[in-house]
Amino acid sequence: MIPAIEFCEVHKRFGSLHALRGIDLTVERGEFFALLGPNGAGKTTLINILAGLSRATQGCSRVMGHDVVVDYRDARRVLGVVPQELVYDAFFTVREMLRFQSGYFGLRKNDAWIDELLHNLGLTDKADIYTRLLSGGMKRRVLVAQALVHKPPVIVLDEPTAGVDVELRQNLWEFIRRLNRDGHTIVLTTHYLEEAETLCSRIAMLKQGRVIALDTTHNLLSAHAAVQVRLKLNPNRLPDVLRPLLAAEKAGCFNLVLNDYSGLEVVLATLREASVVVDVLEVSKPDLEEVFLRIMGQAGKEAAR
Amino acid sequence: MTGLWTLFYKELLRFWKVGLQTILSPLVTTLLYLLIFSHVMESHVQVYPGVGYTAFLVPGLVMMSMLQNAFANSSSSLIQSKMSGNVVFLLLPPLAYWEFFAAYVAAAIVRGLVVGVGVGLAGLWFTPVTLAHPLWMMAFALAGCAMLGAMGIITALWASGYDQMAAVQNFIIMPLTFLSGVFYSIHSLPPFWQALSHYNPFFYLIDGFRYGFFGVSDVSPELGLLIVGTCFLALSLATLALLKSGYKLRN
């Protein structure tokens, strides 16, 4: 089966800046995929290339098998993009915007689907209001609706929950999940890693224009996750043997990072030997945020070498 | 074609919604020109034999307002979309670059004609206006609006901000229209300026447009239309090439 999205050897240069350095990535149909990375890693550049908003310096990109340059009309028909910037047209109401967007995609009578979108995104009572008068969160919903007017099989959301309150975030994800269950391929970028962890089945991590990690969420968590231990000691001094494990020292507590739970045994034994009393002991389970920081840190060290 | 129609309709609706600024205000400005110039000049100047100065001025002002408004329509719409970022709504869908071009130019023509007709009707109140060759008049009106519509797209694509847009409008479009014979016949100019005027494409637009009213012109309407048509063709090809390359839009 033709994959939903393919990038092969995609490079992008802005003058002397090498923003993308050979991205090879495939997203299969029906996946819920996350594109993670720090600011400036190239996530948005990659999405822009896919959407035809920018052109790759080298390499090819395809949506449902359609090349985004050669076969741009078919490629754009099967792609819906929610841009990161909160853009809107000051001249028009929500419904007008959605009707225009439908028309640009060649759809004449789309009001039934527009109504459904408005309903699902909680915008029904805002339909005839000028978009510029809506709050940031509402504008974001309008952007989502605009990206979906043509029922695209592949949906890309570039930081859709930035600046959006908790309730709306939940509603939005519920809706996106439903689309995914109905067979739409979803790609998202986000800085809320717990969102990526709960929603996405597969994750790519980008740093400085390269894919530095690509695996299922489960594998990433189990392969890279470390156990974090927070200790408050009496006397408050960490034995030198344990120094290499120290990640941070905060509010009189030591944060240690262990490779797995068996390391805990060693730590406790060492403390006992040193006659140090443990006042507080907290063990936190691995999460994506930590994996992310670890992978980014490793990539940084490798790049420095 | 649905995409093209939708964009065209959106462009019409855009200027219609702010009609006070896009239709009424240029109308009032042009009528002030008419009021002042006809009052001052009527008794002093007769450009064509048997044609009063006010009657001579009206077609010039109609053409001038059409040109300026056609340019303003495509340029301001596109630069606003670019600056506010909502141009992505046009870049994400499968609109062909020629549809983009056609919709903006067509809307510019409509805006130009609406203002032009308004000025023309108001002009009737000042002086009776004859229509010797309505088809020639229409041909030059359409060519002028289309040409300036395309120039508006090019300018908005090139400009990185509103100041650059305004620079083109004030340093190129305004002088070219004012110095094209709106207020005078180029025959009244010294030979050097008369010769120079022949390099101004707007001169042929106004001259040919006036021919449609009075059946008199400095240059034959056939030659005028040929020159204007060639200019429009060249500008269109340039605009299409820019749009196709994604110049300053897809980067």
- C-alpha A125/C-alpha A15 separation (Å) is 46
Tell me how many degrees the CA angle B149-B153-B155 measures, rounded to the nearest 5.
110
- Give every CB contact of residue A178 below 8 A, 6+ residues apart in sequence: none
The predicted structure's pLDDT at residue B92: 97
B93 Cβ under 8 Å from any chain A Cβ: yes
SS3 A254: strand
Tokens at A238, concatenated? 């960490």
Distances in Å between the Cα of B2 and the Cα atoms of A148, A157, B93, B106 are 18, 26, 12, 15
What stretch of H or E contains A29?
Answer: none
**pLDDT surpassing 70 at residue B39:** yes
| Minimum CA–CA partner of B3 in chain A | A104
Task: Identify whether the C-beta of residue A170 lies closer than 8 Å to the C-beta of residue A113.
Answer: no
**pLDDT surpassing 80 at residue A162:** no
Distance of residue A36 Cα from the nearest chain B Cα, in angstroms: 22
Best to test chain A binding among B5, B84, B86, B245 (most A CBs inside 10 Å):
B86
Of B9, B92, B250, the CB nearest to A55: B250
Nearest to A31 by CA among A185, A252, A228, A193: A185
- C-alpha A143/C-alpha A160 separation (Å) is 9
Helix, strand, coil distribution of chain B in percent, nearest 5: 80, 0, 20
The mean per-residue pLDDT over the stretch B57-85 comes to 96
Which pLDDT tens digit goes with each residue over B125-164? 988 888 999 999 999 999 999 999 999 999 999 999 999 9
- C-alpha A238/C-alpha A128 separation (Å) is 64
The predicted structure's pLDDT at residue A88: 96
B88 Cβ under 8 Å from any chain A Cβ: yes
**pLDDT surpassing 80 at residue B45:** no
Residue A210 DSSP class: E
Taking contacts as CB-CB distances below 8 angstroms, the residues of chain B near A76 are 92-94
- Mean pLDDT value across chain A: 90
H runs (alpha helix) in B159-214? 162-168, 174-178, 191-197, 201-214
Share of chain A above pLDDT 70, in %: 97
Pairing of strands A202-207, A32-36: parallel
| Residue carrying the six token digits 């009528």 | B31
Pairing of strands A58-63, A202-207: unpaired
- Report the sign of the C-alpha dihedral through residues B61, B63, B69, B72, in that order: negative
Task: Identify whether the C-beta of residue B206 lies closer than 8 Å to the C-beta of residue B60.
Answer: yes
| Residue carrying the six token digits 């034994």 | A269
pTM of structure: 0.88
**pLDDT surpassing 80 at residue A47:** yes
Nearest to A3 by CA among A48, A52, A84, A60: A60
- Give every CB contact of residue B128 below 8 A, 6+ residues apart in sequence: B55
Helix A136-148 crosses helix A166-181 at what angle (to 10 degrees)?
A: 10
- C-alpha A182/C-alpha A177 separation (Å) is 9
What stretch of H or E contains B46?
Answer: none
- C-alpha A21/C-alpha A3 separation (Å) is 22
- C-alpha B97/C-alpha B243 separation (Å) is 6
Of B3, B14, B17, the CB nearest to A104: B3
CB contact under 8 A, A76 and B90: no
Q: In terms of pLDDT, which residue wins out, A263 or B224?
A: B224
ipTM field: 0.92
The predicted structure's pLDDT at residue A304: 59
- Give every CB contact of residue B140 below 8 A, 6+ residues apart in sequence: B63, B205, B208, B209, B211, B212, B221, B224, B225, B228
Residues in chain A whose Cβ is within 8 Å of chain B:
51-55, 72-74, 76-77, 79, 81, 83, 85, 87-92, 96-97, 99-108, 146-147, 150
Nearest to B58 by CA among B215, B249, B213, B237: B213
**pLDDT surpassing 80 at residue A36:** yes
Tokens at A218, concatenated? 């489960």
Of A73, A103, A147, the CB nearest to B5: A103
The predicted structure's pLDDT at residue A262: 83
Task: Identify whether the C-beta of residue A160 lies closer than 8 Å to the C-beta of residue A144.
Answer: yes
The full set of domain ranges for chain B reads 2-245
Which pLDDT tens digit goes with each residue over B1-19? 899 999 999 999 999 999 9
- C-alpha A220/C-alpha B217 separation (Å) is 80
Name all domains of chain A by residue range, CATH numbers in brackets.
5-222 (3.40.50.300), 226-285 (3.30.70)
The predicted structure's pLDDT at residue B61: 95
CB contact under 8 A, A107 and B2: yes
CB contact under 8 A, B3 and A106: yes
Neighbours of B44 (CB within 10 A): 7
Nearest to A209 by CA among A7, A12, A2: A12
Nearest to A209 by CA among A74, A56, A32: A56
Tell me how many degrees the CA angle A134-B100-B240 measures, rounded to the nearest 5.
140
| Minimum CA–CA partner of B90 in chain A | A104
Taking contacts as CB-CB distances below 8 angstroms, the residues of chain B near A96 are 13
CB contact under 8 A, A76 and B93: yes
Q: In terms of pLDDT, which residue wins out, A229 or A73?
A: A73
| Minimum CA–CA partner of B91 in chain A | A53
- C-alpha B47/C-alpha A201 separation (Å) is 80
CB contact under 8 A, B94 and A103: no
H runs (alpha helix) in chain A? 43-51, 72-77, 94-104, 111-120, 136-148, 166-181, 193-199, 217-224, 262-273, 288-304
Cis peptide before A235 (omega within 30 of 0): yes
Q: What number of C-beta contacts closer than 8 Å exist between A and B?
A: 81
Query: Exposure pattern of A190-210 as b/e (b: 16+ CB <10 Å)?
Result: bebbebbbebbebbbbbbbbb
Distance of residue B88 Cα from the nearest chain A Cα, in angstroms: 7
Q: In terms of pLDDT, which residue wins out, B189 or B91?
A: B91
CB contact under 8 A, B89 and A74: no
Residue A38 DSSP class: -
